[in-house]
Structure 1
Amino acid sequence: MVEKYKDFDKKRMDIFQELIKAFWNEKIKVASDLEDLAYYIKDKYQLEDTDIPFIRDHIRVAMGLNPKGDVKFDTELKEIKSEKITHPIVTNIEGPCKFCNEHGDKCVIECKYEDPIYRRNDKPLIVNNKCLSCGYCVSQCDFGAIADKVEFIPLIDILKDEKTPVYATIAPAAVGQFGNKVSMGQLRTALKLIGFKDMIEVALFADMLTIKEAFEFNKLVKTEEDFFLTSCCCPVWFNMVKKNYPDLYNKMSPSVSPAVASGRILKKLYKEDPKVVFIAPCIAKKAEAKEPYLEGAIDFVLNFRELKEIFEALKINLEELQPDDVDQASLGGRLYARTGGVSFSVKTVVNRLEPTRVIKLKSIKVNGVKECKAVLEDLRNGKDIDANFIEGMGCIGGCVGGPRTNIDVDTGTKNVNDFGEESFILTPFDNKNINKILRSFNIFSLEDMVEDKKMIEILKRE
């Protein structure tokens, strides 16, 4: 009985592909069409009629909706038209856990942050006020009992609507994620083919925030005892500090993540009420975009694994496409994708701002749960860590080690380093694209960027 649920993470991506093809070709028009799809999937994977509620819930989650248990499809088509994906992002689905219990298997799924997931009523219990939405449990459960909502199906009609511009902002870890021979220029072309107006590197906005953090470091770190916590780009690290180490929170960068900055700035620059879709290796970014104080900047979040499935379902061969290359970000901004990249980038700007600074930026880079928790405990306990700039990333290796990457960490790191070195822009301070954006807001210097009220409002987290 257990075997039928084996490797269900792959099967749920197959379900997602079936949904893409059906909705893209407008074959899903009434609730009964979804019911037919559920029975088609049942037969395809040799499941049973008793598994239909389980299949329905995976279809719902793949459409960005909440599971409903043993309830037939009814209002789902109206719900996805609302264009609003809600919390919780990581959700539990009834069914497979009871078979683990029946066979006496002990559930080994435990939160990456050491909050155990308990089984109750045949499904895992996710404590949402503790859950950091890191997605670790999703990638570890092989039976489909835990899943994260997918946000593409509600986006299809918007992509097809020529009156609504949709911009893709893509995380710097994307390079090489869709094939060794696929360039970022070809990825931009592919996204335009499915209806996106353009693709913008989030590394450009990382450059902007690097400059802001460099100014903040210079302002905050005045003595040997002072220190500064970054990176604002990782919601898992940020939430770990905020929820579990509130005494250190005032040392955290007050900036939004580059992803949120990309959405806020694009929506200010373009007046046609554009939609912004962030593409990342991360599940936590789906939750970040829906935080009440950040909501509205990013409309939808897709991850690399989902985007790969979208291209396959729509039969788009990226290697055959003509590249649309644009140099938007610096070496420093692109290196945000891997451990140590933020520290490197901020240091280059700090050295430019104050080359004779007495107290130099001295960083420590931590990644993965054990290192993040260890350094935060040391800081809380007043232990000397011999650093004044602490960069934390929730995934081992940084974003290139995220739960929804398509390639391994080492390959991802090499690709990011190589792509960064290809940039004609050495440091964020040299990025003229930032000056163009700032001029649109009547800001004419980088120094004014950190003092301007409009830009402060755009770039502040809370």
Structure 2
Amino acid sequence: MDDRYANFNEKRMHIFSELVKRYWNGTLNNEDDLNDLAYDVKNKYGFRNDEMIFIKDHIRIAMGLDPNGENEFKDELSKIKIHKEINLPVIANIEGPCEYCKENPCQCSIFEKYEAPIYNRSNDPIIVNNKCINCGYCASRCDFGAISDKIEFIPLIDLLKNDDIPVFAAVAPAIVGQFGENITMGQLRTALKMIGFKDMVEVALFADILTIKEALEFNHLVKTEEDFFLTSCCCPVWFNMIKNNYPYIYKHLSPSVSPMIASGRILKKLYSNAKVVFIAPCIAKKAEAKEADLKGAIDYVLNFRELNEIFNALDINLENLPSDEKDQASFGGRVYGRTGGVSFSVKTVVNRLEPTRVIKLKAKKVDGVSGCKHILDALRNGVKISSNFIEGMGCSGGCVGGPRTNIDAEKAVRLINEFGEDSFILTPFDNLNVMKILKQLGISNIEEIMENNEIKKLLSRE
């Protein structure tokens, strides 16, 4: 193993941290400043002169740009200032480090073929984009820097410093405990406001809205013992698996967007000129936000590791901050971050909507790509299953097992459950915040979610 490339995920975060400090403080203004950063990285980790392209490509990726294999910086900073848009693909391959990797078999090829976007490796990784489901595990597990996901914070800095543009931080339910077991959501809200966000909003609130929608859909579509319903909430890996590989099953999939997309669409409907940043443990969400029929709802996606590095780079100590607490979501919405959370939440609403229902909701919860593939293969092959509501999460344990978390999944599940229990709102059906938002969108009762064209457009895929 070559020491220069070993543990490169940590070195990558150092590059990002330095970018944040220098751009935030106004000392990153031209190509010479970028070159200074590249040479600082080279000297810190002992890279050779002929490896400068590798370093510069990682600087580009940490700026949200595509690697281009060029030894000279040209218009990278002007692209950030003018375009501010992060383009697909979100996962990029970088030439060079594969030749130093001594792993046998290659780290990239040990994954199940269906799961990994890496199908071949010679001197460089090869990404087969039409088969990639954007799970992100190739980027998180390749510790030589051959594969990496773009970081979307540097283009956001100018917006955060612009008082005329409201920027909302929409945080995934899995965020609880990711920055310290004793760090409250209120302290996170304070920290995010300190760096320029107008407010922090629980995406669990929008999960509550979608829970009601999917409960209504379940009641409408599941009428016999043979009927079944696949939730599309939350996980783009699960959705992409079904859409790309199981056309017969696709018709059983809910047309709902994810809570992430719903949060962006609704916040932008309520606040003109707003920008929305989603914060999650997920790499796949970066790709979901850029899908053609979803694009525009979410402007940038950050993950928990990136946000932790931002706080460190800007010398923000969460433990010392006052707590700005708001109770926005129900227990049901808050447990969306772990396996079974969606099923539990939808079931509570189905039981409230139709307490005498003959065909009860019987959930099947699967997680991990292999687990998802197993149940989808069974359904495709006509295997009889006893469940009529099927929830799939691409990561083991649910979102808490995502590739960019700060704590282990088992601990995260416990903290999510505790945070859910702290809510004064038991189910999405009881959430007055939901009704307040729906009234602002012109809806006076729950059933109109399925009938009002405006809300259907906000909450559904095309």
TM-score, scaled to structure 1: 0.97
Asked if 1:12 is matched to 2:12, the reply is yes
Query: Structure 1 253/73 Cα, relative in aligned 2: closer, same or farther at 3 Å?
Result: same
1:267 equivalent to 2:286? Answer no
Q: CA separation in 2, counterparts of 1:120 and 1:395?
A: 24
1:2 and 1:96 in contact (8 A); partners too: no
| 1:196 paired residue number | 197
> Matches of 2:439 and 2:456 in 1, distance apart?
15
**Counterparts of residues 298-313 of structure 1 (less than 5 Å):** 298-313=298-313
Give the partner amino acid of 1:89. Answer: V
Tell me: CA distance 1:220–1:141, structure 2 relative to 1, closer, same or farther (3 Å).
same
Report the equivalent of 1:77: 77
| d(CA) in 1 for partners of 2:229, 2:369 | 19
Q: What corresponds to 1:445 in structure 2? A: 445
SS in 2 for 1:59: helix
The one-letter code matched in structure 2 to 1:65 is L
2:265 and 2:417 map into 1 onto residues whose CA distance is 28
Task: Name 2:343's counterpart in structure 1.
Answer: 343
> 1:98 Cα shift?
1.9
What is the SS of the residue equivalent to 1:17?
A: helix
Alignment partner, residue 323 of structure 2 = 323
In the TM superposition, residue 115 of structure 1 has moved relative to its aligned partner by: 4.6
Post-superposition shift, 1:121? Answer: 6.4
Equivalent residue for 2:226? Answer: 225
2:276 is paired with a residue whose SS is strand
Could you say which residue in structure 1 is the equivalent of 2:160? 159
CA distance in 2, matches of 1:3, 1:166: 40
Shift of 1:3: 2.3
Provide Cα deviations, 1:284-309, integer angstroms capped at 9, x if missing partner: 00000000100000000000000000
1:117 offset after TM fit, Å? 2.1
Q: Secondary structure, in 3 states, of the residue corresponding to 1:195?
A: coil
Distance 1:279 1:387 in 2: 32
On the 8 A contact 2:216/2:350 being kept in 1, the answer is yes
Match of 1:109 in 2: 108
Cα separation, 1, equivalents of 2:424 and 2:232: 25
Who is 2:360 aligned against?
360
- Deviation of 1:180 after TM superposition, in Å, equals 1.2
Regions of 4+ moved over 4 Å: 118-121
- Matched residue of 1:3: which SS? coil
Q: CA 1:363 to 1:47, structure 2 compared with 1: closer, same or farther past 3 Å? A: same
> Structure 2: how far apart are the matches of 1:267 and 1:347?
29
Match of 2:90 in 1: 89
2:103 paired with 1:127: no
Cα distance change on mapping 1:260 and 1:311 into 2, 3 Å: same
Do structure 1's residue 456 and structure 2's residue 443 form an aligned pair? no
C-alpha distance in 2 between matches for 1:46 and 1:98 = 17
| Alignment partner, residue 407 of structure 2 | 407
> How many residues of Structure 1 are paired with residues of Structure 2 in the alignment?
459
In structure 2, what residue type is equivalent to 1:46?
G
| 1:383 aligned partner | 383
**In structure 2, what residue type is equivalent to 1:199?**
M
| SS of residue paired to 1:129 | coil
Distance 1:202 1:116 in 2: 28
Map of 1:140 onto structure 2:
141
Q: Does 1:279 align with 2:271?
A: no
Contact 2:117–2:128 (CA under 8 A) maintained in structure 1: no
**SS of equivalent residue, structure 1 residue 200:** strand
The secondary structure found in structure 2 opposite 1:236 is helix
Q: CA deviation at 1:187?
A: 0.3
Structure 1 pair 416/120, CA: closer, same or farther in 2 (3 Å)? closer
Identity percentage of aligned residues: 64
CA distance in 1, matches of 2:103, 2:330: 54
C-alpha displacement of 1:47? 1.1
- Letter aligned with residue 145 of structure 1: A
Task: Give the direction of change, closer, same or farther, for the CA distance of 1:134–1:114 in structure 2 (3 Å limit).
Answer: closer
1:417, 1:119 → 2: CA distance? Answer: 41
Give SS of 2:455's match: helix
Q: Which amino acid aligns with 2:227?
A: D
Amino acid at match of 1:20: V
Residue 30 (structure 1) aligns with: 30
Give, as a single letter, the amino acid of the residue that structure 1 aligns with 2:195: I
Say what the alpha-carbon RMSD is for the aligned residues: 1.2
